[in-house]
Structure 1
Amino acid sequence: MTARRTAAALTVLAALTVAAPAPAHAATRYRSAKVTTVVPYVVGLDEQAASQRVRRAGLKPHVTIQKGSGDYPVTTVYTRPGAGTRLPFGTEVTIVLGE
């Protein structure tokens, strides 16, 4: 094969490679993949600090007060779901405040 034919063949091959459609399963695979994050450990933190850490993790904080915690609970006693749980971004995490 001459150099001219080799160059032409490579040009055609490059054009076919760029124009070739992606396999159908590739789009499905990426669409079904969920990007996740982990619930941070916030026990002992005040409401503002706990909410901020949950937001930084890509989650939505929802604050609630544990019954029997007095007039003004000041620290986080637990989260639902618990710390270390893997969740999709944007999922709501309940921060439970108590004494």
Structure 2
Amino acid sequence: QVEERINNNEVLVYPTPARDVVNIVLPDAFAKTACVITLLTADGKTVEIKRTQASSLIQLPVNKLTPGMYLLRIASGLKTIHKVITISR
């Protein structure tokens, strides 16, 4: 198996920094299939896992998370994207 890399610029994540909700706009390669969205702390601890149906827009609530930097991992089949997001209050 070979993991397919998708250009991170094809994924739009906003607002930056986020307060209550992070909006994720996915490219067609992801929007046509179910995805697993994982949010990790800077030290690698998983704080949120969300499974989605085929969709081009995903909303991830972040209002209960501690402000700081997080790694957003979006996986669908062999395709994976990583984005860094910031949460502030």
Question: So what's the TM-score if we normalise by structure 1?
Answer: 0.27
Question: So what's the TM-score if we normalise by structure 2?
Answer: 0.28
Higher relative contact order (CA 8 A, sep 6+): 2
More strand by share: 2
Larger of the two Rg values belongs to structure? 1
